[in-house]
Amino acid sequence: ETVVVSIVNASTLPDGTNDADGSSYTATNIIVKSSHKVRGLDICYPQLALWSGAKLDVYNIIEGTGTSSIANSSDYGSSAFALHPDGVFKVRDGNKVVLENFQQQVISSLGFTDSEGSPNQISVSGDFVVCITTRNIMKVARIGTRDLRQLGPARPLFADITGDVAVKSSTVNIKGKLVAFILQVSNGPQAATAPAVEGEGHDGQGRSVAVGFG
């Protein structure tokens, strides 16, 4: 399967916007061809990760030549992964999230108990990683040089919602003291009532906001 990576030259966006016809910016398109069907992907330039459902391939994007090269490939069955400048976040042994460098050596890890569930969503924003489990437990950690430092306690999501709620996908953005989420959940309109999850936030003083949609 073919993936096209478009690199936009930000200097051609003087107003921070682009015209409807695209004439106000220039872009370099780099074609990455995978031998597998792509079921998931993530990018942290200049790396691109493609997941087939059974294998996770990481490519180096080479803007100067308009090409790509394979950095590493591994057998990987979980849909939970995320790229960071230091490497790739993956789920290992069902109960921990590890950060592997691009030589596939484990740099650091974050563990989960049986009662917390198995991590099935990983999102990265800057030097923070947010993990959500099969039991709708959220953990936030700061990404250090050699460790993942958990910030605050593990927090339950959707504690006030009746019925089964499963997070199908998540996107996170962290700025200042706010951890903001968009979570796609499984039980439709009721999930839209998901309240803010009050807590210490990523630095002990903020709050985490969960927004769900069906």
Averaged pLDDT, groups of 10, the chain, 214 residues long: 72 53 64 86 90 93 86 93 95 94 94 94 88 88 89 78 66 66 56 35 34 29
* pLDDT tens per residue, range 137-170: 888 899 988 899 998 888 887 766 556 666 666 6
- What dihedral angle (degrees, nearest 10) is formed by the CA atoms of 16, 28, 169, 204? -50
Q: Provide the pLDDT for residue 15.
A: 55
Q: Provide the pLDDT for residue 98.
A: 96
Q: Provide the pLDDT for residue 209.
A: 36
Say how far apart CA 178 and CA 188 lie, in whole Å. Answer: 26
> What one-character DSSP code corresponds to residue 112?
-
Model pTM? 0.76
Print burial letters for 133-163: b (CB count within 10 Å at least 16), e (below 16).
Answer: bebbbbbbbbbeeeebeebbebbebbeebee
Q: Provide the pLDDT for residue 35.
A: 83
Q: Provide the pLDDT for residue 80.
A: 92
Spell out the residues 6+ positions from residue 23 whose beta carbon is closer than 8 angstroms to its own: none
Q: Provide the pLDDT for residue 138.
A: 87
